[in-house]
Structure 1
Amino acid sequence: MTNNPTSQQAFDRYEAVRHRFPPLPTLPDADPEKVADLGAITDLYDVFVFDAYGVLNVGNAPIPGACERIETLRAAGKRIFVLTNAASYAFPKVVEKFQRLGFAFRDDELISSRMICDEALKTEDPEIVWGVVGPSWFSPDELPVRCLPLGDDQAAYDRADAILYLSTECWTDHRHMLLARSLSERPRRVIAGNPDLVAPIEAGFSVEPGWRMHDLMDRIAGLDVTFVGKPFGAVYDAVEERLEGAVAPSRIVMMGDSLHTDIYGARTRGWASVLVSDHGFLKGEDPLEAIAKSGLKPDWIVPAI
């Protein structure tokens, strides 16, 4: 798919692939309440978990007031985490990014889907050769396994014992078809390090690894895919492990711009959720209309944190 999808196309695609997401508990009937910002609900929760894009930053700029909100919550004694589906960059680059944006997060407050992938790979058979769909700057020494960057050589796809899908930054329709052909002829395990279907950009939305992966799953029946990132469980496990069972799920709240990743994932864990409406996936859209269509109800809606 070479064209950038519209917000409606992205929404419809999320709805079409929801059957592959973790099961949801019974959803609340109460409609979300709109509040001005997180100051209105600070006292209700002990742990605040933030998505990055559309909540803390847009591109290379922090959203006005976001840095100050984090420090206000920290001063109030709240635990802070960032939970991002960013898989293009190894963890040290994630740390650098937030420092560059002006946020004073500790390393143990940052959890990326890429970090969880890298940790999981350490438990894999060291003889396996992983074909890596990575960004243009990817280097094999970033990973703790034998790996082979995938490009335009069909033989490389066929040599790989398993596939690690991290980024669409330099991916093309041609490369997508090379991968589809190889996996059709010899199905293998796939780990998808970013379940997002799209990401907001100036031209609408970019196609992200989740979109490509669901296309492969549509084409290849029974393809063995493990998604790492919101709304799938491993990243939430990482947050709760850091809390060491000291906080009830109902006292944890997730802030995000996407109903199908941030809000959906929070619901699977029994966390509260806040939809941030003005800077990300739903910018310029009616959040209540999207909520009604999807049935995914956050507890709160704020324009910005």
Structure 2
Amino acid sequence: MNDATALRPIVDADWVFDRYEAVRGRLPDLPAGDAAAAEAPDLSALFGAYDVFVLDGFGVLNVGEAPIAGAVERIGQMRAAGKRVIVLTNAATNPPAASVEKYRRLGFDFTMDEIVSSRDVTMSAMAAFPRETHWGVAAAGPASLAGLAPNTTALLADSAAYDAAEAIILLSGGEWDTAHQARLVASLRNNPRPVLVANPDLVAPREDGLSIEPGYWAHELMDATGLPAAFYGKPFGNAFDAVLDRLGPDAPPRARMAMVGDTLHTDILGGRAAGMGTILVARHGIFAGREVAPYIEKSGIVPHHVVATT
């Protein structure tokens, strides 16, 4: 275990759920009216209900760097049934071409047009800033900075880099720890600046557990400084607007689209707020090995369907 890992909280589904509930006021409002959480074995049972499947990545297609058993075949079945597929992921580390290559390594045949990431949504927001803006980025190595903006600097151990940045992007949690966070908090307390959060997730499912993601650090930052942050990605409307833009004028009504995910507070809340159908995958992500009904009841975030697996 390296020092960065040692400084992170140890998390499980209960910790994640409680933390999401604690920041619920910063998330989109849940629309009025209850969904009905009908159960099905997998997504193939729901082909008749939806024309477009909007798929989360982690916990739906893959866990860490391994595909979920049967997921590749299920995408093929969707295509054969005439369904459109879009991957909507809060994984912001990879540039678009690298995301396509990642899924191809896992066996999926997604094209670049079929992948919408919170990185894409964040880059659209960055375009509204002056071109000469100097960005300080919580990144995962130089490759993750590719294509972002001309003036980007990874925020590492040099406090001067934090102070020199004119705006901040929380892009990746891979190399971020409490020491980096403390430098950022101190810098922003001294000189408040815009903070863009390119991945609103608190955690992501990996082969060896749950990794801490930028959304966790963003809420910690807001708690520590009282400053706002702008979130790009699920559950926020900007992510779902990007999906609709990608689908184009031939998109079906939102009720014929399904957001498929493993997390109540991002995938299901976001999909319901966007007016889509929602499908919770219970076996592989946040709730792996647990009964999901108590979490649904406690949060009031009710998916239209619960499936065991993709």
Calculate the TM-score normalised by the size of structure 1.
Answer: 0.95
Quote the offset at 1:140 in angstroms: 4.5
Supply the distance in 2 between the matched residues of 1:244 and 1:141 (Cα, whole angstroms). 27
In the alignment, which residue of structure 2 is the partner of 1:24? 30
In the alignment, which residue of structure 2 is the partner of 1:207? 212
Supply the distance in 2 between the matched residues of 1:71 and 1:139 (Cα, whole angstroms). 30
Supply the distance in 1 between the matched residues of 2:153 and 2:113 (Cα, whole angstroms). 30
Question: Which amino acid in structure 2 is aligned with residue 293 of structure 1?
Answer: K
Question: Which amino acid in structure 1 is aligned with residue 44 of structure 2?
Answer: G
Supply the distance in 1 between the matched residues of 2:144 and 2:263 (Cα, whole angstroms). 31
After superposition, the Cα gap between the structure-2 partners of 1:14 and 1:140, relative to the gap in structure 1 and judged at 3 Å, is closer
Question: Which amino acid in structure 2 is aligned with residue 241 of structure 1?
Answer: D
Q: Give 5+ residue unaligned stretches, structure 1.
A: none
In the alignment, which residue of structure 2 is the partner of 1:11? 17
Q: Contact 1:121–1:145 (CA<8 Å) still a contact in 2?
A: no
Matched, 1:155 2:131: no
Q: Identity of paired residues, percent?
A: 46
What secondary structure, in the 3-state scheme, does the structure 2 residue paired with 1:111 have?
strand
Q: How does 1:40-59 map to 2 (within 5 A)?
A: 40-59=45-64
Quote the offset at 1:42 in angstroms: 0.5
Question: Which amino acid in structure 2 is aligned with residue 46 of structure 1?
Answer: D
Supply the distance in 1 between the matched residues of 2:26 and 2:9 (Cα, whole angstroms). 24
Question: Which amino acid in structure 2 is aligned with residue 204 of structure 1?
Answer: G
Question: Which amino acid in structure 2 is aligned with residue 11 of structure 1?
Answer: F
Q: How does 1:93-172 map to 2 (within 5 A)?
A: 93-138=98-143, 140-172=145-177
Question: Which amino acid in structure 2 is aligned with residue 56 of structure 1?
Answer: L
Quote the offset at 1:242 in angstroms: 2.4
After superposition, the Cα gap between the structure-2 partners of 1:141 and 1:244, relative to the gap in structure 1 and judged at 3 Å, is closer
After superposition, the Cα gap between the structure-2 partners of 1:242 and 1:143, relative to the gap in structure 1 and judged at 3 Å, is closer
Question: Which amino acid in structure 2 is aligned with residue 200 of structure 1?
Answer: P
After superposition, the Cα gap between the structure-2 partners of 1:141 and 1:208, relative to the gap in structure 1 and judged at 3 Å, is closer
Quick check: 37-46 or 208-217, which moved more? Answer: 37-46
Supply the distance in 2 between the matched residues of 1:280 and 1:292 (Cα, whole angstroms). 18
Q: Deviations over 1:37-70 (max 9, x none)?
A: 1222101111111001111111222111111111
Q: Deviations over 1:268-301 (max 9, x none)?
A: 1110011000011100111111101111100111
Supply the distance in 2 between the matched residues of 1:224 and 1:49 (Cα, whole angstroms). 29
Q: Contact 1:27–1:296 (CA<8 Å) still a contact in 2?
A: no
In the alignment, which residue of structure 2 is the partner of 1:75? 80
Q: Contact 1:27–1:297 (CA<8 Å) still a contact in 2?
A: no
Supply the distance in 1 between the matched residues of 2:72 and 2:267 (Cα, whole angstroms). 20
What secondary structure, in the 3-state scheme, does the structure 1 residue paired with 2:204 have?
strand
In the alignment, which residue of structure 2 is the partner of 1:234? 238
Calculate the TM-score normalised by the size of structure 2.
Answer: 0.94
Supply the distance in 1 between the matched residues of 2:112 and 2:199 (Cα, whole angstroms). 20
**Which of 269, 280, 288 is the matching residue for 2:285?**
280
Q: How does 1:208-223 map to 2 (within 5 A)?
A: 208-221=213-226, 223=227
* Aligned CA-pair RMSD: 1.5
Supply the distance in 2 between the matched residues of 1:110 and 1:2 (Cα, whole angstroms). 30
Supply the distance in 2 between the matched residues of 1:271 and 1:117 (Cα, whole angstroms). 22
In the alignment, which residue of structure 1 is the partner of 2:3? none
Supply the distance in 1 between the matched residues of 2:27 and 2:144 (Cα, whole angstroms). 31
What secondary structure, in the 3-state scheme, does the structure 2 residue paired with 1:92 have?
helix
After superposition, the Cα gap between the structure-2 partners of 1:72 and 1:232, relative to the gap in structure 1 and judged at 3 Å, is same
Quote the offset at 1:33 in angstroms: 1.0
Matched, 1:244 2:248: yes
Matched, 1:292 2:302: no
Matched, 1:2 2:12: no
Quick check: 262-271 or 111-120, which moved more? Answer: 111-120
Quote the offset at 1:144 in angstroms: 2.4
After superposition, the Cα gap between the structure-2 partners of 1:2 and 1:243, relative to the gap in structure 1 and judged at 3 Å, is closer
